Structure 1
Amino acid sequence: MTEAEREQLLAEKDKALSYLRSIMTSPVYDVAVESDLTPLTKLSDKLNNDIWLKREDQQPVHSFKLRGAYNKLSMLDEQSKQQGVVAASAGNHAQGLALAAKKLNIAATIVMPITTPDIKVDNVRRYGADVRLIGKSYNEAQAAMHDVAKKEGKTVIHPFDDEDVLVGQGTVAKEILQQNPNADVVFVPVGGGGLLAGMAVYLKQMAPHVRVIGVEAEDSACLKAALEAGQPTDLAQVGLFADGVAVKRIGETTFGLIERYCDDVITVNIDEICASIKDIFEQTRVIAEPAGALSLAGLQKYCANSAGQENLVAILSGANMNFHSLRYVSERCELGEQKEAVLAVTIPEQKGSFRRFCKSLGGKVITEFNYRYNQQSAEKNASANIFVGVRVADSQQRHALVESLSSSFFVRDFTDNELAKLHVRYMIGGHSPSALNERIFRFQFPEYPGALENFLDMLGEHWNITLFHYRNHGAAFGQVLAGFELDDSDHSQFFEHLASLGYVYSEETDNLAYQAFLD
């Protein structure tokens, strides 16, 4: 080891010890509570591990964000406190900062997008903050926040990429070791990385044997992208379901600590998150927000390949769930638990076919059955496509069911097909009545009053819309499936237009669910 390398190592150790001291002496308990570490006995039996849930839903703002915000504000000098603070947030950071500022008698301004649900706006105002609704996205709100900071001399409070903020979040790890010294693995949700960085640097100093695993949503995996690139990098787009962790770029400060002290990162999908929301509710009667259930979803994925008999801790990081999103969660949770098979089955267009198909299920419960008669159905020896949901015990039983049905029918398994789950199951209506040069696209966009109208305005009237299906999944985001009649000469201009819209989209023309029921 060279002298320069030795000096760098010593500097890193000194910095880690500085974080450790700051976490141990943080004043967060002036406003935060030491949240419970709740055993999940039912899940422990199922997964052959001792499962524990760190209950940050018990904080006054129902989220861990209060810890980092209060620690940061308590470290400001008197002049900064007198001039006030400002932040951009559409969620838990806003509420945590507002309450922390009220406790310390500091004027707080929160810039929120106009897409923010009223319940969150009202909660922030209830804590005494000055709320300014600006822009239709977080990026627009963030730009406005910097203008406010510059013009009014206010200190910007970053939601995660700040040393004092991550120190406050690190107090969660301190409590876990006090409550369960035998913890083997701790699973931490990842958005910008503040919670993971603060917890990891503490755990690796105090209990180096404890494995620290970050958990990300598949459609917002900015940490995974940064680890692959060797540095923070921007995601082209992020999903909106788990909005509490919908971050395009991991923090610079947080990434340095995570890269050094975090052992692994796991990604989970929407169905797995929804299944964990249900598990948390059944064990605690608490309704976690999607980001709040993220780490438990990662824990369960980890258990699928573990030997068992470990002490595993997941962080319930927040419970500020939009009530209208519960319908969507309920629809998806059985898929996340792999207790529903979604199938397309071709049966003869004859009387009694449905009865024969049901008998072939061997008594399994049908959760959904969709079919529409069309002209082709009247032809001799015609067949019909049905869209069917069947309750199963697990993925193994699902695969066995598909194999069994395939001996008598033509079967396609759409259980992992997003287009089938989001749209097709709600719009079975037959094939297009005439031959069209049709291309199919799925869109996702932030939900706010007039969002659908704005979406249609931005699509324009240049191309004929041949199919359209829209679902509102609560106040956070909307889903659209749209078909367009496109000649070959239209393709270049059409895709340039899509790129200019800025919406998250994917083409689904080759999707088998579309071809089976709507093409």
Structure 2
Amino acid sequence: MLKLEDFQAAKKRVDEVIMETKLIHSEAFSDECGNDVYIKPENLQKTGAFKIRGAYNKIVKLDDEAKKRGLIASSAGNHAQGVAYAAKKLGVKATICMPAHTPLIKVEATKAHGADVVLYGDVYDEAYAKACELQEKEGYTFVHPFDDEDVMEGQGTIALEILDELPDADAILVPIGGGGLISGIACAAKAINPNVKIIGVEPEGAASALAAIQEDQITLLKEVNTIADGTAVKQIGAKTFEYIKKYVDEIVLVDDYELMEAFLLLVEKHKLVAEGSGILSLAGLKKLKFKGKKVVSLISGGNIDVMTISSMINKGLISRGRIFTFSVQLPDMPGQLEKVSHILNQCNANVVGVEHNQFKNFARFSEVELRVTCETNGESHIKTITDAFDKEGYTITRIN
């Protein structure tokens, strides 16, 4: 197992290339979960994610022969950029295998750093298999995204920074994909303070670490399905499994809607943008079983395309009760729209969309359907609107 001095040595190496990401205190997330929350914004790194740490630490330690053969890596996006950036800085050729559906922003950023990109497979594991095939064929040096102690060593430098800035932190929440990030952080943090709790957060649709812990062996998931594409890994690493077993105190799961809600709150309250996998630890705050503790949530990455940002915001608004769409059956006679408008005005609901349809979805011949979308201030506001319509004799059906 890695020791504290290994992480300290890695810190000196990665300091050559990383940005300083100071902790941000979050009143918004503190109020949400009842703990004192600090954010570690690794989405602000040069490559948009923490991965530059492990990739650079690994590559800079390679001997000249290994570098001369060129590098091969597999990645869902952020490790690709880390390897490409480090390789360019150190003058080494790099080829990266990425899943075919990797967000374009990650593919283009990787190419911009000078790496050759091979798009292959639907998920990370298939891209990894392709990278192994190319390694064997071309003799490249493999830079694993997580199951490598040099990589873990680099990622663990985050723990040194957190505990240097907040030495009395009670818990650190860390996203889990393949397990390299949490392995490094957990090992380094426990070496400094054995009492700090390390809590991993996985998406429900790709909970390979939790499955491994429950089965007490590395487990291959049949499929993965999550908006957190950077952590869509069917199987954690053999090395990371041992570190997680030894150093991680708990693993919690979050669903995609919880991720979208956390995304919206982060954008709205902190003006920070993160990708789905990057906000796992923020979504996981609501799953904590304790209150009143100092908690650090690591935002692992921020490489997200604009279309996905738009979708996340819209769905997050719906999930948090900030957008309310409903239908109501109205008598087919003049004045009904005015009555609906009056009720909504009395409830301080801002209407953003109306569809009045006389030709479908009516319960009786003499009725028409009205669909309304309005801005609301949460579930209590939606209940106020529903009750107001009920009081006036209208039954509304929530659509989203």
Q: What range describes the TM-score normalised by the shorter chain of this pair?
A: 0.7 to 0.9
Equivalence for 2:6: 22
Partner of 2:180: 194
Tell me how far apart the structure 2 counterparts of residues 287 and 194 of structure 1 sit (CA, whole Å). 23
Structure 2 vs 1, CA of residues 194 and 347 (structure 1 numbering), >3 Å: closer, same or farther?
A: farther
Q: Is the CA contact (8 Å cut-off) linking 2:221 and 2:235 kept in structure 1?
A: yes
Q: Which of 296, 303, 312 is the aligned partner of 1:329?
A: 312
**1:28-427 correspondence runs (5 A):** 28-44=14-30, 49-134=35-120, 138-299=124-285, 301-302=286-287, 306-308=290-292, 310-361=293-344, 362-374=347-359, 377=362, 380-382=365-367, 384=369, 386-399=370-383, 401-402=385-386, 405=389, 408-415=393-400
- Alpha-carbon separation, structure 2, partners of 1:232 and 1:73: 27
| TM-superposed deviation, 1:378 | 9.5
Shift of 1:85: 1.7
Q: Deviations over 1:475-501 (max 9, x none)?
A: xxxxxxxxxxxxxxxxxxxxxxxxxxx
SS in 2 for 1:35: coil
C-alpha separation between the residues in 2 aligned to 1:262 and 1:388?
A: 48
SS of alignment partner, residue 118 of structure 2? strand
Unaligned runs of 5+ in 1: 1-14, 416-519
**TM-fit CA distance, 1:414:** 4.7
CA contact (8 A) 1:35 1:58 kept: yes
Q: Per the alignment, in what secondary structure is the counterpart of residue 109 of structure 1? A: strand
- Residue 283 of structure 1: CA displacement? 4.4
Identity of matched residues, %: 36
Distance 1:210 1:346, change over 3 A: farther
Aligned equivalents of 1:376, 1:339: Cα separation in 2: 26
SS in structure 1 at match of 2:47: coil
Alpha-carbon contact 1:271-1:335 (below 8 Å) kept = no
C-alpha displacement at 1:406, in angstroms?
Answer: 5.1
Deviations 1:415-466 (A, max 9, x none): 4xxxxxxxxxxxxxxxxxxxxxxxxxxxxxxxxxxxxxxxxxxxxxxxxxxx
Distance 1:66 1:116 in 2: 18
| Aligned-partner SS, 1:86 | strand
* Structure 2, gaps ≥5 residues long: none
**What does the per-residue CA deviation read over 1:129-155, in whole Å, with 9 as the maximum and x for residues that have no partner?**
233344565454333322210111112
CA contact (8 A) 1:111 1:142 kept: yes
- Tell me the matched-pair count: 395
Shift of the alpha carbon at 1:404? 5.8
Asked whether the equivalents of residues 31 and 103 of structure 1 are also in contact (C-alpha less than 8 Å), the reply is no
| Corresponding position of 1:467 | none
- Shift in alpha-carbon separation, 1:327–1:203, aligned structure 2, 3 A: same
Deviation at 1:250, TM superposition (A): 2.3
Q: CA RMSD for the aligned pairs?
A: 2.9
Q: TM-score, normalised by structure 1?
A: 0.68
